[in-house]
Amino acid sequence: MKEVGRPQLQIALAAIDEGDELVVVKLNRLERNQVEVIARLHDLQKQGIHIKALDGLINTRA
């Protein structure tokens, strides 16, 4: 997945490890469109990283 823009996200992604949970306000903060969000979610889950959106749309740990 290309790594452009969203520098705070890149810093967060560099700091998390397997078993950690990435919490975002909304899923659209992960990428710019739905296809990229789904790809990012898939990549993070393959790495063993849980994702929680505070808008309630996703919680992979639940």
What is the per-residue pLDDT across 41-50, written as a single tens digit (0 to 9) for each?
Answer: 999 999 999 9
Q: What is the pLDDT of residues 13-29, one digit of tens each?
A: 999 999 999 999 998 88
Whether residue 62 is contained in a domain is answered as no
Identify the pLDDT of residue 22.
95
Identify the pLDDT of residue 12.
92
- State the DSSP code for 28: G
Neighbours of 22 (CB within 10 A): 19
Whether residue 61 is contained in a domain is answered as no
CATH of the domain at 26: 3.40.50.1390
Whether residue 2 is contained in a domain is answered as no
Whether residue 11 is contained in a domain is answered as yes
* pTM metric for this prediction: 0.81
Structural domain including 13 reads: 7-53
> Which tokens sit at 49?
């990283």
